[in-house]
Every structure is written in structure tokens, then in C-alpha cells.
Chains A and B, each alone.
Chain A
Amino acid sequence: DQQVKQNSPSLSVQEGRISILNCDYTNSMFDYFLWYKKYPAEGPTFLISISSIKDKNEDGRFTVFLNKSAKHLSLHIVPSQPGDSAVYFCAASEGETSGSRLTFGEGTQLTVNP
């Protein structure tokens, strides 16, 4: 049972444009969400997170939006850069104080073309 789903295995965008990566979840107990970025032969790198009490969190070029009623979140990268090309994982946790277990989506391969 995949509780966190990233339905797009890949996404290709032009440099300078916006990249939008989507994530859906089914477990209503999830209330903290994170995005990780992974290059080949490296471990995932934490990008940005959002608590369920918010609907938006912004950090530089990265913005995460959360729609709790739809159980949907998205990561916006603008402007996209070739160095952003990587696999992006959405992850969820059941509460900030239960953050020891993260459930990951299957990832989206983002390719930013020069």
C-alpha cells in the first residue's frame, strides 16, 4: 500500500521556467511533509518541509504548497536551473514529534534543459 505517491516518474522543463513536482498521500495521520533531492551515487538531500498547519512554505527558489483537503502537495522551483536536474522525493511523517519514520514517494526525475 503506497501511502505517498508521486505519479509522474519524470519531468522535463526548460532552464528559467517553473518546475512543478506533485505528490499525493492517503494517510490522514500524516501532518509533516518534506522534499528531498537525490543525485546519482549520493544520498538524498533535504530541501524543504511544511507542517500541516501551513499551506505554503518558501525558501529561495523553492516553494512547497500543501492542500490538506485534497491530500496533495507540490514543489515549485522557479527559475529552474540545469543543476536542479535530479530525482525529487516527497516524504511524509506522522507528526513532528513522531518524526522518526519517514514514508517516501517513488520519486520524480527532473531534467532541466539548458
Chain B
Amino acid sequence: DTEVTQTPKHLVMGMTNKKSLKCEQHMGHRAMYWYKQKAKKPPELMFVYSYEKLSINESVPSRFSPECPNSSLLNLHLHALQPEDSALYLCASSQWTGAISNYGYTFGSGTRLTVV
């Protein structure tokens, strides 16, 4: 299994809703990432988990709450989002945070989030 699986693929939520994005990988990777990509913009790093511990938070608003229950799973909990948070949310993994050189990241297909 060489994939990163993200669910759901599409999500529409209201500004008062609570929802979660899920990401799963079974490649034994120990680093997992959340990126946000707006239309016609590059992916922007949100969070990095290394060995199930949060190692980087790029000053992301608290309405986004990441969780890494185990080495294969990464969640992003969403609450009280704004319409400007509508974007493609990408999950990625790598063997560990120092392994970019050999393999790059493996990205999932993303969750297209629309906040109404």
C-alpha cells in the first residue's frame, strides 16, 4: 500500500458545524502533515506530526484542531469555520521528517472543503 487516503473527498459545512477530516496511511511513515491549498495558490503547511507528536503548528487558528490517534491516522477537526477557510485540504506523509531527500512526501488526493 503506497497511498495516503483522505476522507471525505468533498465536504460542505455551515459556519456553526463541527466536522472532521480523516487521513490514513499504511506505509509505516512516521511523519504526517496537513496542508491547505487555495485555488491557483501553492500548498501551505498547517501542521506537522512526527512520531505522533505535534512538531509544527504554522500559527493556524484554533478553529482547526489536529489529532494523531496513532501512527497511521491523522485527523483535522473543524469548528466554527469561516467561508474564507474553503480550500483543498491535503494530507501527506513521509518516512520521517528528515526523509524528504529520498522520497519526498506522499500526498493524499485531498478534501475539497466548502464553508457556507
Residues of A within 8 A of B (CB): 4, 32, 34, 36, 41-46, 49, 51, 89, 93, 96-102, 104-107
User: Do A100 and B55 have beta carbons less than 8 Å apart?
Assistant: yes
Q: Knowing A100-B31, A100-B48, A106-B40 are in contact, say whether A43-B109 is a contact too (CB < 8 A).
A: yes
User: Do A96 and B107 have beta carbons less than 8 Å apart?
Assistant: no
Q: Which residues of A contact B90 (CB under 8 A)?
A: 43-44
How does the 8 Å CB contact mask read for B35-60 relative to A, with 1 for contact and 0 for none?
00000111111001010000110000
Q: Which residues of A contact B6 (CB under 8 A)?
A: 43
Q: Which residues of A contact B114 (CB under 8 A)?
A: none
Residues of B within 8 A of A (CB): 4, 6, 31, 33, 40-45, 48, 50, 55-56, 90, 92, 94, 97-101, 103-110
Partner of B45, one of A34, A36, A89, A101: A101
Which of A99, A105, A106 is most buried by chain B, counting CB atoms within 10 A of its CB?
Answer: A99
Instruction: Give the 6 A-B residue pairs with the shortest CB-CB distance, closest first.
Output: A99-B100, A46-B104, A43-B107, A104-B42, A100-B97, A96-B101
